[in-house]
Structure 1
Amino acid sequence: MEYTHGGDIYSLNTPVLDFSANQNPLGMPPAVAEAARAAVAEADRYPDSRCTALRRAISALDGVPEEYITCGNGAADLLFRLCGALKPEWAVDAAPTFSEYEQAVTAAGGRVFRCPLDPEAEFRLDAFYVAALAGADVAFLCNPNNPTGRLVEPGVLDVILRYCRNARITLVVDECFLKLSDQPGPGLAPKLADYPNLVLLRAFTKSYGIPGLRLGYCLTSNADLTEAIARAGQPWSVSNVAQAAGVAACGCPDWPEKAMAEVVRPQRARLTAELRSLGLTVWESQANYILFRAPGRTDLKERLVERGVLIRSCANYHGLRADYYRIAVRPEAENDVLLRALGEVL
C-alpha cells in the first residue's frame, strides 16, 4: 500500500530534516515527555478504556462537558469510526484537502463530492461549497485547511453551520491545526450545545509534537453519536502512555502559542519571502505550514532528499498537480538548510 502522507522518513536510506510533517516546531513539551516515560512502568496493565483522567483534562482545557468527548488513536482513527457509525451515502469535502475524509467515507461504502477551491482566489472556501451541500449526509471542513493553510472565514462558517443544522447534515470540522494557526481560541466548541449535528476533530499530534503516540479526540453534544463512535472502535484504542502524555499536555496550554510566537510567525514570513525570491509561487498561510508551487518542477522532493531535506509532494491532493509542495515551518537553523538546498536545485 502506497504511503501518501508526510513524515515518511522510514523509507529513506539517509537521515533527513523533515519538513513534510506539520507538527509543533518546538517538539514535545518536557512535561509530556516525562509523563510518557513514567507511564511505561504501568504498561503491564490494560489502559483505561474510558480515558477517564484524559477526558477530565480535555474538558477543563476546552471548556466542554466530559460527555462530549471521545478519545482515539489519533484523529484519523476517530474519523474512520465516525464514518463507520454514520455510514453516509453522500458526503462533501473540498479539493484540495486532507485525503482521509474521502478514504473514511469510501471505506464505509459512501461517495464524496469534491468542491474545488480556486488557487487564483487563495483557495478560499466560498458560497459554492454551501450550494454543493444539497442532498449530502455528511460535510467535512478542515480549519485551517490542509495543505493550503487557509482558515475558513467566520461569516462563511456561520452560514455552513446553519445550513447543515437545518438540512440535518452532520458537519465534521477538523480543528487539528487550529492551535497552530493565526486564530487559535476555542474554535467551534462554544457552538456544540446549539448544534447537535456538529462534530469537531482535534489532536495532540500537531500542537504538542507527539505524532508517534497517536492521540486525538472528537467533540459532539449528540449523545447517540458519541455512543455510536465508541461502539465503532475497539475499547483500548488509546494506550496508557498516550493517555498520560495527553493529561500532561493539557497542563501545558500555552505550548502551541509559544511555538507560534517564537518560531512560526516570524519564520513563516521569512520563508514566504525567501521562497518567492527563488521564483516560486507561494500562497499566504495562516497556519504552521506553507503551500507553494515550483512550475514545471515535479522532482523537487527527490532532489531535496539527496541534500538531506524531506518536503511534502502534493501530487496526490485532488485539485493540485505534481509541481505543488508543502513545507512545515521549522526553527531558523533548519530553515537555513532548506533554503540553501532549494537554492542549489532550482
Structure 2
Amino acid sequence: MTDHGGDWASFEGTYGVPPLDFSANVSPFELPAAVRNAAKAALTETGRYPDPQCRALRKKLSAYHGIPAAWILCGNGAADLIYRLAGARRPRTALVTAPTFSEYENALTLWGCRVSRFSLNEANGFSITEDILPAITPELDLLFLCEPNNPTGRTTDRLLLEQILDRCAACGTLLAVDECFNDLLDDPAAHTLLESLQRYENLLILRAFTKSRGLAGLRLGYTLSQDAALLEAMARSGPPWAVSALAQAAGIAALEDQESLKALRRLIRREQPRLAAGLSALGCRVCPGEANYLLFFQGIPALPQKLAQRGVLIRDCSNYHGLGHGWYRAAVRTEAENGEFLKIMKEVL
C-alpha cells in the first residue's frame, strides 16, 4: 500500500491494464530523446559505482542556478533528502501546514520530533496567511513549507514568504522550502527563494527532477543551502551512492533541454483552467491552484473506486491532515486525456 498517488502497479494487478493515471502529478509527456539517450549511454558505467558526490551534475546545477556547487547536495528524489534532513538536524520541534505533503511529518516523527500543524482554511483557498508568523518562536527548530503546496497547488504571497524567512532567521529556526513544483508555475522566478540563499544560512530549498523533467522512475532530487555543515551531515545521514549513474546522466541532459519544460508550462497554462472549469461544471468545489494539479471536493460515495472501474486513477486526499473524505486531487494531463477524464467523471456523477 502507498500513502501517495501513482500506484499504477496495484491497479494493473487488479484490472490487468494500465490506468489513465491522474493520481500522480508528473509530466504527461514522453521522456525527451536526449534525456533517454543520455540514460542509455550511462548503462556502460553500471559495472562501477556512480560518483558519490555527483560532481558533474552538481557542476551543471551550479551553472543552472548561479550558485556554488558546494551549496548543492543530490539525492534519491526529494523524499530521500527530506529524511536525510530530519536525520541530520534531529529537531525537537517543527511546524508544518495542514494539509501538505505527508513525508515532512513522517520523517520528523521518526526522530521523536514534536510536530505542530498550522491549519489552512478552505475559505481563503487554503492560502498561508500572516497568522503563521506568531507560531514561529525561538522554541521552533524547523519549519517546512511546500511552494506551491501539495495538494492545494497554492503559493504563498512573496512578501509574506520573506517575512516568514526573516522571522525564522530571528528565531534561529531552519526554514525548509520544498520547491519541487516551482518549475511548473507560470512564473517560477516570482515564487522561488533561490535569490535569498546567499543572505540566509537558515534557508534550505528542495528541488527534484520528478515532476517537471519526467524522471520519477529514476529518482533524482537535490537540496540547496549555504550551510555546508548541514549538507555534510545530510550526506552522512543515509547510505552512500544515493544517485545512480543513469539518474546523474539523465539529470545533466534534462537541464540542457529547456524546450520540453517550456512546452510543459504551456500545456499546464492551457489545460489547467479547462480542467478546473470542467470539474466545477460537474458540481465539484475546486481549489484555485497554480500548479499541474487540482484539489477538489466531490461528496459522491466511493468516487475513486467508481473511476477505477472505468480505468481512471485519482488521488484520494482523505489521509491528508486538514482534509477528509470527499477531497481528491487530479493531475493536469494532455488535452485528450483531460477530456476523457471529464467524460468519465460525468458518467460517474
What does residue 38 of structure 2 align with? 35
Instruction: Give the distance between the partners of 1:298 and 1:98, measured in 2 at CA.
Output: 24
- Structure 1 residues 184-333: aligned runs within 5 Å: 184-185=188-189, 187-261=192-266, 263-294=267-298, 296-333=299-336
- What CA distance in whole angstroms lies between the structure 2 residues aligned with 1:184 and 1:47? 31
Runs of at least 5 residues in structure 2 that lack an aligned partner in the other structure: none
**How far did residue 128 of structure 1 move?**
1.7
Residues 22-71 of structure 1, C-alpha deviation per residue, up to 9 Å, x if partnerless? 01222422211111111112111100001000000111111111000000
Is 1:80 aligned with 2:83?
Answer: yes
Q: How far apart, CA to CA, are the structure 2 residues paired with 1:181 and 1:27?
A: 20
TM-score norm. by structure 2 comes to: 0.96
CA distance in 1 between partners of 2:72 and 2:258 (Å): 18
Please state whether the residue corresponding to 1:79 is helix, strand or coil. Answer: helix
Report which stretch shifted further, 204-213 or 124-133.
124-133
What's the counterpart of residue 100 of structure 1? 103
Contact 1:24 1:259 in 2 (8 A): yes
- CA offset at residue 157 of structure 1? 0.1
Kindly indicate whether the alpha-carbon contact (under 8 Å) linking 1:19 and 1:310 is maintained by their aligned counterparts in 2. Answer: yes
Aligned length: 343
Report the Cα distance in structure 1 between the residues aligned to 2:280 and 2:256, rounded to whole angstroms: 39
Equivalent of 1:141 in 145, 162, 179: 145
Partners of 2:260 and 2:133 in 1: how far apart?
35
Question: TM-score under structure 1 normalisation?
Answer: 0.97
TM-superposed deviation, 1:182: 2.4
Residue 170 of structure 1 and its aligned partner are, at CA, apart by 0.5
SS of the counterpart of 1:233?
Answer: coil
Tell me the C-alpha RMSD between the 2 structures. 1.1
Runs of 4+ more than 6 Å apart: none
1:97 aligned partner, one-letter code: T
Correspondence 1:124-139 to 2 at 5 A: 124-134=127-137, 135-139=139-143
Amino acid at match of 1:156: L
Structure-2 residue corresponding to 1:48: 51
Range moving further from structure 2, 250-259 or 168-177: 250-259
> Structure 2 counterpart of 1:35, which letter?
A
What's the CA shift for 1:254?
3.8
Q: Do the aligned partners of 1:177 and 1:207 also contact (CA within 8 Å) in 2?
A: yes
In the TM superposition, what is the alpha-carbon distance from 1:80 to its structure 2 partner?
A: 0.4
Task: Quote the Cα distance in structure 1 between the aligned partners of 2:72 and 2:212.
Answer: 18
Contact preservation (8 Å) 1:315, 1:323? yes
Structure 2 match to 1:11 = 10
Cα distance, 1:116–1:27 mapped onto 2, change above 3 Å: farther
- State which drifts further: 308-317 or 245-254: 245-254
Deviations 1:112-137 (A, max 9, x none): 10100000111110112222222210
Higher deviation after alignment, 10-19 or 48-57: 10-19
Deviation at residue 297 of structure 1 after TM alignment: 2.1
